[in-house]
Amino acid sequence: MHEILRSPTGLTGSVLLLLVLGMALLGPALAPYDPQQFHPAVRLQGPSWAHPLGTDQFGRDILSRLLNGAPTTIAFGLGATALGVALGALIGIVAGVAGGWVDSVIMRILDGLLAVPDLLFTLLIVTILGGGTGYAMLAVAIAFTPGMARISRSSVLSVRTRDYVLAAQARGEGWGWIVGFEVLPNALSPIIVEATIRVAFAIMIGATLGFLGLGAQPPSTEWGLMVAEARQFMFRNPWMVVIPGIAIALAALGFNLFGDALRDALDPRGRS
Amino acid sequence: MDTLPTPPVLRVDGYTLDYATPAGPVRALEDITLAIGPGRTLGLVGESGSGKSSLAWAIMRYLPANARENAGGLLLQGENLRTMTPQEILRVRGRRASMVFQDPSTSLNPAMRLGDQVAEVLVRHRGLDRAAALAEGEAALARTGITKPADMMRRYPHEASGGEKQRVTIATAFACQPALIVFDEPTTALDIITAQGILQLFRELQEETGVSALYISHDLALVSRIAHEVAVIHRGRIVETDMPARIFRDPRDAYTRDLIAAVPRPDHWLGVAPPPPGAPALLSSEGVNVLYGAPSPLARRLGLRGRPHQGAHEVSFDIRAGELVGLVGESGSGKSTMARVLSGLQPFDGAVRFGERRFTHRRQFDRRYRRAVQIVFQHPDASLNPRQKVGRILSRPLKIYGLASRAERPARVRALLERVLLPPDFADRYPHQLSGGEKQRVAIARAFAAEPDLVICDEITAALDVSVQASVARLLIDLQRDTGTACLFITHDLNLVRQLAHRIVVMQHGAVVDSFDTADAKAPGRAPYTRTLLDAVPEPAEALGGGEADRPARKELP
């Protein structure tokens, strides 16, 4: 952790991430209004003392909605990514370590899946499984799997033929040790960085699904859904789009910078 | 220094260079003064990190952004390179001064035909049109001894061998008849026989064109064979400049003496006493065959035929307990394939006999065999896991072979480190914090930690500087003397192996072509290929054509 905070990138990422996670944990408690309460007198307002980030088309307080939406949004992004990365990394590592025909068969199937665009793939899964936040998360995770598997596999392959892995094989080490202690620690960096980038994607795909009526349903305060709902009123109150948009961007940036710093901190060669 | 009859082509005067780092400036070159006359070759010799490449970059004006030139002049034919504008520098590079890099496979553009790469320089600097440049380029290639230059012009870099590629880069460097060519270790990435050809070519072309050359290398013996003058650089300072013969005969600086002592001399025996005659073999390779690129069962069924390549063909040799056997050959001769077979990394046909046991398949090698036969790889950077501390790397063999309990391990690791002459507190370091030679010592310690009967050393000195090579070889011999371990020493350096090995096995194209006692290396019955290898690395004394008086007295093999 000390290593991460030393670089400017790591520091910025950590601060942003802390902010976002703080919102996710404490947001609902800090919200000044009930996120679903209508204030018909002050619809589509810009920032003011009473409503620091303005109000939406029903006069609901945007700050309160944003704070209430944080837990679901972040949980969705993290959950979908964690699930997708775990599944993809597992498949990729198996393919990379096993090699031969196992590798060929797994990778050809994944290549077929990769040819389908992420969003289309997600839609397909949601259509089969049914809508709702839980299924949307699962769908995003499954859509991420082929890409993550490919990245994990190439990372494992590049390490697998290094001399220190051969040395371990020549020593007569078991497969568990070779994969867990020789290959994985050296193959993890690209997987971690890719995962942190994908958190932001997951939030965006979640938003799109919400917009299409297949993910979170109104009156949920999920950030993506907030952007989607605000689209109609974009010209009358741009704040409605900008505020949740910035929140999503900051969360994405935080995860991304933190991921970069984490990769550097995990590499002993980077330390002096 | 000799008096030069004509003004020098390159003159470096009191040149000093620093690199700015977060921890303050680091001095790379200090008060460098040298001069190269027309048609002369100056050999610049030093170990890695001595600043010799920094000087090459400075002359070619390719310095990185954090370089700070503090003092001194770099004069090419009397013009100061330091005060030239970037436009003027562009006219100098390639036209009046060019450079040949160490590794031809990375210095050529893989997406361009070789002919276009040679012609590009001629179009750029001599204003020829494309057809004329191609014709001129073909002539340039012909001069470098390439047999079918027209054919070579149409090839891409991956379609040419390492030696051919280096000939193309040399042809490119000579193409515009520059006044000065900087050679940065041009033969280090090539195997010995090819390197020998390149050196020969260098000598011929230099005589023919009268170009001046700065030849940079870590190998004093090699430089002495081609340079008119040798400058020895150590920690950014030139410690000595003299004629090669005089440097060998009468070195004045202590560092130069160390360098000379490190040059392998086959008549200077370092190895341990040989095992008694008639001792039984410890390990035997019995008709081992390795086929690379054999088609998979599916491909065979589909009627696809790859072109399999025979990595080893009916290879048989044996190693007795306590013996050091040298396995010699150029790259691609199959010597590393045998290292992989014997350490259980490569599937094979045939048999490996170890003591009373006979193995006919890779899977039969069990932990008992693997403990007894250890391997040390060529590149210490690659063979140590960058994410494990040295202590952990060394305690691993102790753990898996059950040689020490958890409580005993730290002490054993310290003892191992001391045994390879490293400070015991290196146990807490990561490999990247060590130098190349130190890393190789750790790798050797790891092999000996298993208390093996046989250690396979796969080119363990090839990636190291000559000065470090000698100390690593000496360490290996000391360990062998203390433990009685046998050793299969794989190398392409015949001078080195003749100092260490009791017997030498020569491989070519995957087969054993010769096998003899080290003392008989020069005997008349040697295979022609063995003789080619021996001729490719002249002994230092032969190379200098004299200086017999100061050679150490010949010690006969015991």
Contacts of A52 (CB under 8 A, 6+ apart): A63
What average pLDDT does this structure show over B500-510?
Answer: 91
**Strands B229-234, B41-45: pairing kind:** parallel
Q: Report the SS3 class of residue B544.
A: helix
Residue B129 CA, chain-centre distance (Å), reads 40
The two three-digit tokens of residue B305, written as one number: 């035929």
Tens-digit pLDDT profile for residues B454-496: 999 998 988 888 888 888 999 999 999 999 999 999 988 888 8
Bridge partners, residue B351, by sequence: B286
pLDDT > 90: percent of chain A: 15
Q: What angle do CA B445, B447, B453 make, to 5 degrees?
A: 125
A173 touches B: beta carbon within 8 Å = yes
> How far apart are alpha carbons A164 and A230 in whole angstroms?
56
Instruction: Answer for the pair A238, A168: CB distance below 8 angstroms, yes or no.
Output: no
Half-sphere exposure of A126 (CA within 13 A, CB side): 27
Instruction: Answer for the pair B54, B17: CB distance below 8 angstroms, yes or no.
Output: yes
Closest CA to B460 of B452, B372, A169, B474: B474
CA distance A79 to chain B (A): 29
Q: Is the pLDDT of residue B295 over 80?
A: no
Instruction: Answer for the pair B67, B150: CB distance below 8 angstroms, yes or no.
Output: no
> How far apart are alpha carbons A116 and A120 in whole angstroms?
7
What average pLDDT does this structure show over B15-42?
Answer: 88
Bridge partners, residue A185, by sequence: none
H/E stretch holding B30 reads strand B24-36
Instruction: Answer for the pair A65, A218: CB distance below 8 angstroms, yes or no.
Output: no
Q: Is the pLDDT of residue B554 over 60?
A: no
> How far apart are alpha carbons A174 and A218 in whole angstroms?
53
* Residue B83: burial class (beta carbons within 10 Å; 0-12, 13-18, 19+): exposed
**Single-letter residue type at B232:** V
Q: Is the pLDDT of residue B448 over 80?
A: yes
pLDDT at B483: 92
What average pLDDT does this structure show over B315-334?
Answer: 89
Q: Which residue has the tokens 């969003």?
A: A119
Q: Is the pLDDT of residue A24 over 90?
A: no
Question: Euclidean distance between the first and final Cα of chain A, in Å?
Answer: 16
Residue B211 CA, chain-centre distance (Å), reads 26
H helix count then E strand count, chain A: 11, 0
What average pLDDT does this structure show over B402-428?
Answer: 92
> How far apart are alpha carbons A243 and A251 in whole angstroms?
12
Mean predicted lDDT score pLDDT of chain B: 86
Tens-digit pLDDT profile for residues B95-116: 889 998 888 888 889 889 998 9
pLDDT at B541: 59
Closest CA to B141 of B112, B169, B104, B108: B169
pLDDT at B52: 86
In Å, the largest CA–CA distance within chain B is 76
A108 touches B: beta carbon within 8 Å = no
A181 touches B: beta carbon within 8 Å = yes
Closest CA to B60 of B31, B89, B30: B89
Q: Is the pLDDT of residue B557 over 50?
A: no
pLDDT at A121: 84
Tens-digit pLDDT profile for residues B106-158: 888 988 999 899 898 888 888 888 899 999 899 888 888 888 888 888 888 88
pLDDT at B92: 87
More confident residue, B187 or B447: B447
Contacts with A166 from chain B: Cβ below 8 Å: 345, 377, 383
pLDDT at B540: 66
CA distance A189 to chain B (A): 12
Q: A167 and B344 in contact by Cβ < 8 A?
A: no
Q: B400 and A101 in contact by Cβ < 8 A?
A: no
pLDDT at B546: 42
Instruction: Answer for the pair B172, B121: CB distance below 8 angstroms, yes or no.
Output: yes
pLDDT at B553: 36
What average pLDDT does this structure show over A230-256?
Answer: 85
What average pLDDT does this structure show over B231-255?
Answer: 88
The two three-digit tokens of residue B94, written as one number: 């390639």
Burial call B99-118: b when 16+ CB within 10 Å, e when fewer: bbbbbbeebbeeeebbbbbb
CA distance A162 to chain B (A): 6
CA distance A192 to chain B (A): 16
CA distance B343 to chain A (A): 6
> Which of A47-51, B19-23, B311-315 ranks highest by mean pLDDT?
B311-315
> How far apart are alpha carbons B143 and A272 in whole angstroms?
50
Asked casually if ipTM beats, i.e. exceeds, 0.95, the reply is no
Contacts with A186 from chain B: Cβ below 8 Å: 385-387
> How far apart are alpha carbons A150 and A155 in whole angstroms?
9
Tens-digit pLDDT profile for residues A115-163: 888 788 888 888 888 777 888 888 889 889 999 999 999 999 989 888 9
Q: Is the pLDDT of residue B545 over 50?
A: no
Residue among A163, A182, A268 whose CB faces B379 most closely = A163
Closest CA to B536 of B473, B491, B493: B493
Q: B386 and A181 in contact by Cβ < 8 A?
A: no
Say what the pTM is.
Answer: 0.80
Residue among A162, A170, A269 whose CB faces B382 most closely = A162
Choosing among B387, B398, B403, B460, which should be mutated to test the A contact, i.e. which has the most A CBs within 10 A? B387
pLDDT at B488: 95
A163 touches B: beta carbon within 8 Å = yes
Mind giving me the DSSP string for B1-28? -PPPSS--SEEEEEEEEEEEETTEEEEE
Contacts of B497 (CB under 8 A, 6+ apart): B326, B328, B489, B491, B504, B518
Q: Which chain A residue is nearest to residue B364, measuring alpha carbons?
A: A172
More confident residue, B42 or B162: B42
A186 touches B: beta carbon within 8 Å = yes
Residue ranges of chain B whose CB lies within 8 Å of a chain A CB: 296, 298, 343-345, 365-367, 370-371, 374-375, 377-379, 382-388, 396-397, 400, 430, 432, 446, 450
pLDDT at B160: 84
Tens-digit pLDDT profile for residues B71-84: 888 888 888 888 88
CA distance A11 to chain B (A): 20
Q: Which chain A residue is nearest to residue B362, measuring alpha carbons?
A: A170
CA distance B516 to chain A (A): 29
